[in-house]
Amino acid sequence: MRTAVVVPAYDAAPTIGAVLAGLVARFPPPSVLLVVDDGSRDETAAYAERAGATVVRHGHNRGKGAALRTGLHEARARGCDVAITVDADGQHPPEEAWRMHHACADAEALVVGVRDLRAAGAPRPNQLSNAFSNLVMSAFVGARLSDTQCGLRRYPIATTLALGGREPGYGFEAELLIRAVAAGMHIVEVPIAVRYPPERVTHFDAWREPPRIVKCVLSTVAETRVRRLASSWGGRDR
């Protein structure tokens, strides 16, 4: 399977160079390294190109979900079968991306990183918001999901795009998980190590984003349940 590494980035100039340097070393050609510059106001795109990545640009900031969707479409257009998604803030060590990529031989599996936020020294609000999202989503989809917000994942590109995820913001990753569960996709959870250095800059608001994610979860769960009911009734003998 041909692999793309997709890095959604917004105002990530301080970290993008180091992130890409590690990825270039572990995912050489024919792997494709893509950075989706989501309307950055700094030198993110220039630093990414200098590091050897192909850069796709949004004219304005559209959100992480929109950037991931653009990256998946671009990866498919370049003939890739799977995409490893890595955050631009330095949270995900490149060796963990490489290890997770090889954790499952099933190219159609959705492979999800599972973080130990407490052991990694993540800020307390991040720990609480992640635990809350995990609890809510697991309850609504009827399956135990250990880390619904981790951005380090391996997606089967064509199958993932066929799920029809639409959320433009941080809720996109949660939305895809719900749609994957509803579609009966093989989901593999892999424990990963992450970094939370004091100088790390993130655009995720640990207080404002969780309610938006929950709203996305509720609407997606409702939609998938309606579809299942419609399919069930449609398949019955008249």
pTM of the model: 0.88
pLDDT at 198: 67
User: What does DSSP say about strands 153-156 and 110-115: parallel, antiparallel, or unpaired?
Assistant: antiparallel
Q: What is the average pLDDT score of the chain? A: 89
Of 185, 172, 188, 160, which is closest to residue 82 (Cα–Cα)?
160
E runs forming strands in 104-210: 110-115, 153-156, 187-192
Look at residue 131 and tell me whether its pLDDT is greater than 70: yes
- Both ends of the chain: CA-CA distance in Å? 44
pLDDT at 219: 79
Look at residue 193 and tell me whether its pLDDT is greater than 80: yes
Look at residue 230 and tell me whether its pLDDT is greater than 60: no
Q: Residue type for 61, please? A: N
Most confident of 28-42, 169-183, 194-208: 28-42
- How much is the CA Rg of the chain, to the nearest whole Å? 17
Between CA 172 and CA 175 the distance in angstroms is 5
pLDDT (mean) for 79-95? 96
Q: Please report which confidence band the pLDDT of residue 33 belongs to, taking 50, 70 and 90 as the band edges.
A: very high
Neighbouring-strand partners of residue 34: 6, 54
pLDDT at 223: 80
Tell whether omega for the bond before 123 is within 30 degrees of 0, i.e. cis: no
Look at residue 190 and tell me whether its pLDDT is greater than 90: yes
pLDDT at 64: 95
Tokens encoding 115? 């973080």
Give the chain's domains with CATH numbers: 3-231 (3.90.550.10)
Predicted confidence (pLDDT) per residue in 133-145, tens digit = 888 888 888 888 8
Q: Please report which confidence band the pLDDT of residue 21 belongs to, taking 50, 70 and 90 as the band edges.
A: very high
